[in-house]
Amino acid sequence: MSTQSSFGVVTDPEILKRLAQYKGVWVYAEVDDNQVTNVSFELLAAARYVAEKTKEEVAAVLVGYGVERFAKDLIAYGADRVYLIQNRLLEKYASDAYAEAVSQLVNSKKPSIFLFGANRNARDLASRVAGRVNTGLAADCIQLEINERGQLEQIRPDFGGKELSVVLTPKHRPQMTTIRPGSFKVLKPDFSRSGVVETFEAELKPEHAKIRVVESVRKKLDPKEDIEKARVIVAGGMGLKSQDNFKLLQQLADLFDGGAIAATRSVCEKGWLPHHFQVGQSGKTVSPKLYFAVGLSGAIQHLVGMQNSEVIVAINLDKEAPIFQVCTYGIVGDLFEVVPLIIDEIKRIRFEKSLIKEGETVSASGS
Amino acid sequence: MTGFNIIVPIKQVPDVNELRLDPVTHSLLREGVPSVLNPYDRQAMEAALFLKERYGGRISALTMGPMQAKKALQECLALGADDAILLSDRAFAAADTWATAYTLSVYVKSVPYDFIFTGLKAIDGETGQVGPELAEFLGIPHISYVSKIEVNADSKTVRVERQLENGYDVWEAPFPILMSIAKEFGEPRFPTLQGYVRAKKAQIKTLSAVDLQKMGGDTKNFGLKGSPTFIPKVHPPPARPPGTIWEGDPRESVRKLVQSLSERGLV
C-alpha cells in the first residue's frame, strides 16, 4: 500500500462532487447457519460510532432467502434502515451471486462507508464487491475514526501486529473496510427503536450464479470453547510445558461463569489445543472482562488479539517478558506455583464473602 | 485434452519472523530483513502440482515486484513450475490490492488458462484480497479457502471443499476459475536438488509497464496512482498505562492480586 501524505487531500471539485453523492454508513449483516453472525452486531456498534460523527444514517444489508425475520434484531442493535435482498439464488452464501446482488445495491444507493466482518466469507465477499464497484478495501481493521476532512480512518495492524497503519480511501466510494471480530463491543439491544425495512430487488441472471452450493456443514462450538464470547479467558503459552498442564488453566477458568481457556500460536501449532483456541493475529481477537496470560511472553502477534481485554493479568517467570508492559496486574513467578495459589485464594475469598452475606441476612432478620 | 494451463500468482515478502522493533522509537526496522516466497503461496504451488500430476499441463508462476522477486519465482520453478513471469516496473510500485490485482489481470488476460491458484493471503499484508479481486477483473468465478479439489474434465467443472471457521462448504463451479488454497489441502512439498538446478537454467520473462500497456493495460491503474487506498500514517501499537507488578513471595503476590480483582468485582 502507498504512503504519500498529499494524496489524502482531495481538492478537485469534480471528484468532490462525485464523492458527495455517497451517503450513509452500511454494514453487511451476514447470515450463516440460520442466524445473523455475532460480528454483524459488532459492525453495527462500529457503524453507530462512526455515524455519530458523520451525522448519517446506519443501514444494514441483509441478504439471503427467508431472512426478513432478522431485520428487527438489526434495528434493535443499531440499524436505522435494513436493505433486504432476497432471492432463491441467495439461499446460501456463494461468492458470485452475493457479490452481484450487493454490488447492484451499492451502485443504486451509494453508501459512503461499508463495513464487513473480517471472517472468511464476509472478507471474501467484500474483496469481490470492492473489485466490482471499483473502490479500495482496508483489511482487518480494529479501530475506526473520522478525520478533520470527514474521511474514514481505517486502522489496522500490519506485519503481524508490529505496527498500526491508518488507511484512507480518498477518491473512491464507498470506503470499504473489513473489521476483525472482537474489535467492537455489541450495543445493548433496544427493541423500541424504530427503523425502516426496504426491499431491494437484485436482478440476478444465471451467469451471475455459476457457483452451486452442494452442501454446507456447520458445527456448533461448545460455549467453553467459544473464546470470542468468553467473559474470562485463561490463556497459556509454551511456559505450560505440556498439553496436560492446560488442565490447571481449565480449573482456573471453571471458577468463572463464561470462563474459557485459550492459547498462543505456538501452543496450537504444537497441537496441544485446536486452532479455534488461538488468540492473536492469525487466530481470534478477544476482549473479555478478565484475561489471564499465563506462561506466555506476549509476542506482538499475540497482543493484537487480546489487548482490548478490560483487565489483563500476566504470570511469567521472566520479568522482562513484553506481556508485563501491557498487563494491568502482573506476578513474576512460577506459574505452577502461582496458578494453584490463585485458585485457592479465589475460593477462600468467595467463601468469606458468602459468610458475610449470611451474616448480613441473619442480622437483617434479627432487627 | 493435453492437460491444463495453470497460473500461480505469488508474492515475495519480508520474513516476518525476522522483523524487529526499534527498542526506543518502537518503529519497525525493515533494513536487512531477508525476503522469502510467501509461505502461503507454497500451498498454491502444491495444488497446481497436484493437478498437473493427474491431468498434465503447464504451470506458470507469476508475480509483480522488484527485480529481486526473481528469487521467489526461482523457488516456484524449483518446485516444478514450467515457466515464470515477473511484472516489474517503478510504475507498479506501492500498489494496493486493487491495483495489484488489476496489473496481474492485464497479463493473465493475454494467456490461456484453466486454473489460477493463490495462497490464502501474504504474511506481510495479510489481506487475502488480491485473489478475489483478480478473479473479478478477469470476470471468472473464484472460491476461497479450498481444501479439496475434484475435477470433471468432461463437463469442465470442479467440485471443491472450502474450510470456514465453523465448518465447511462443498461448491461446484465451472472453470476457468480462481481458487485460494487452505493449509488443509495438504502439506506442501519442498524443492528437490534437481529442481534447483533446473530453476537456475530457466529463463524468467520480465514485462514492464510499457509491455502491459501494449497488452491493453491502462497505466493510470498501475501502482500508487491506481490505488484507491493509501496509508498516510504508520505508528507502533499504543502502549497501555503501566500495570502493577508483584515480585517476591508468591503467596503475598497472589493475595494482593485476588484482592485487587475482587475490588473490581471480578471474582
Domain regions of chain A by residue span: 7-208, 223-357
* Separation CA A155–CA A153 (nearest Å): 6
Q: Do B127 and A139 touch (CB under 8 A)?
A: yes
Q: How high is the pLDDT of residue A344?
A: 96
Of A1, A8, A333, the CB nearest to B96: A1
Q: How high is the pLDDT of residue A308?
A: 80
Q: Note whether A351 contacts B: Cβ–Cβ < 8 A.
A: no
Q: How confident is the model at residue B183 (pLDDT cuts 50, 70, 90)?
A: confident
Q: How far does A154 lie from chain B, in Å, by closest CA?
A: 9
Q: Per-residue pLDDT averaged across A2-30, rounded?
A: 85
Q: Note whether B210 contacts A: Cβ–Cβ < 8 A.
A: no
Q: How far does B101 lie from chain A, in Å, by closest CA?
A: 9
CA-nearest residue of chain A to B139? Answer: A132
Q: Note whether A254 contacts B: Cβ–Cβ < 8 A.
A: no
Contacts of B246 in chain A (CB under 8 A): 329-332
* Separation CA A320–CA A248 (nearest Å): 24
In chain B, alpha helices (H): 39-55, 70-79, 97-108, 130-138, 193-201, 209-214, 223-226, 250-263
Q: How high is the pLDDT of residue A5?
A: 46
pLDDT over threshold 90, residue B20? no
Q: Note whether A170 contacts B: Cβ–Cβ < 8 A.
A: yes
Q: Per-residue pLDDT averaged across B220-228, rounded?
A: 95
Q: Do B228 and A135 touch (CB under 8 A)?
A: yes
Looking at per-residue pLDDT, the higher value among B26 and A144 belongs to A144
Q: How far does A120 lie from chain B, in Å, by closest CA?
A: 6
Mean pLDDT, rounded, of chain B: 92
Q: Percentage of chain A with pLDDT > 70?
A: 95
Q: Say what the pTM is.
A: 0.86
Q: How confident is the model at residue A2 (pLDDT cuts 50, 70, 90)?
A: very low
Domain segments of chain B as ranges: 4-226
Q: Do B224 and A4 touch (CB under 8 A)?
A: yes
- Taking the CA atoms of residue A62, residue A63, residue A64 and residue A66 in that order, the dihedral angle to the nearest 10 degrees is 30
Q: How high is the pLDDT of residue B23?
A: 64
pLDDT over threshold 50, residue A366? no
Q: How high is the pLDDT of residue B32?
A: 76
Euclidean distance between the first and the last CA atom of chain A, given in angstroms as a whole number: 72
Q: If you classify domain A7-208 with CATH, what class do you get?
A: alpha beta
Q: Note whether B234 contacts A: Cβ–Cβ < 8 A.
A: yes
CA-nearest residue of chain A to B100? Answer: A1
Q: Do B168 and A166 touch (CB under 8 A)?
A: no
Contact (CB, 8 A) for A234 and A252: yes
pLDDT over threshold 90, residue B82? yes
Query: Worst-scoring range by mean pLDDT, A151-155, A191-195, A283-287?
Result: A283-287
Q: Per-residue pLDDT averaged across A61-76, rounded?
A: 98
Tens of pLDDT, residue by residue over A216-239, are 999 887 888 889 889 999 999 999
Q: How confident is the model at residue A367 (pLDDT cuts 50, 70, 90)?
A: very low
pLDDT over threshold 50, residue A319? yes
Of B143, B167, B229, the CB nearest to A168: B229
Q: Note whether B230 contacts A: Cβ–Cβ < 8 A.
A: yes
pLDDT over threshold 60, residue A145? yes
Q: How high is the pLDDT of residue A108?
A: 98
Q: Per-residue pLDDT averaged across A163-171, rounded?
A: 91
CA distances (Å), A126 to each of A28, A120, A177, A290, A344, in order? 9, 10, 8, 33, 49
Beta strand A81-86 pairing with A196-199? parallel
Q: Do A139 and B125 touch (CB under 8 A)?
A: yes
pLDDT over threshold 80, residue B239? no
Is-same-fold flag (A7-208; A223-357)? Answer: yes
Contacts of A208 in chain B (CB under 8 A): none
* Separation CA A149–CA A130 (nearest Å): 23
Of B166, B232, B257, the CB nearest to A218: B166
Contact (CB, 8 A) for A120 and B145: yes
Q: If you classify domain A223-357 with CATH, what class do you get?
A: alpha beta
For the domain spanning B4-226, the CATH number is 3.40.50.620
Query: Worst-scoring range by mean pLDDT, A52-66, A265-279, B99-113, B131-145?
Result: A265-279
Q: Note whether B118 contacts A: Cβ–Cβ < 8 A.
A: no
| Longest Cα–Cα distance in chain B | 76
pLDDT over threshold 50, residue A243? yes
Q: How high is the pLDDT of residue A138?
A: 97
Closest C-alpha to A313, from A324, A299, A298, A302? A324
Q: How far does A285 lie from chain B, in Å, by closest CA?
A: 13
Q: How many A-B residue pairs are in contact by the CB < 8 A criterion?
A: 270
Mean pLDDT, rounded, of chain A: 92
Q: Percentage of chain B with pLDDT > 90?
A: 80
Q: How high is the pLDDT of residue A3?
A: 43
pLDDT over threshold 50, residue B212? yes
What is the ipTM score, two decimals?
Answer: 0.90
Contacts of B96 in chain A (CB under 8 A): 1-2, 136
Q: Do A95 and B144 touch (CB under 8 A)?
A: yes
B189: left (phi over 0), alpha (psi -120 to 50) or beta: beta
Tens of pLDDT, residue by residue over A334-355, are 999 999 999 999 999 999 888 8
| Longest Cα–Cα distance in chain A | 81
pLDDT over threshold 70, residue A70? yes
Q: How high is the pLDDT of residue A228?
A: 87
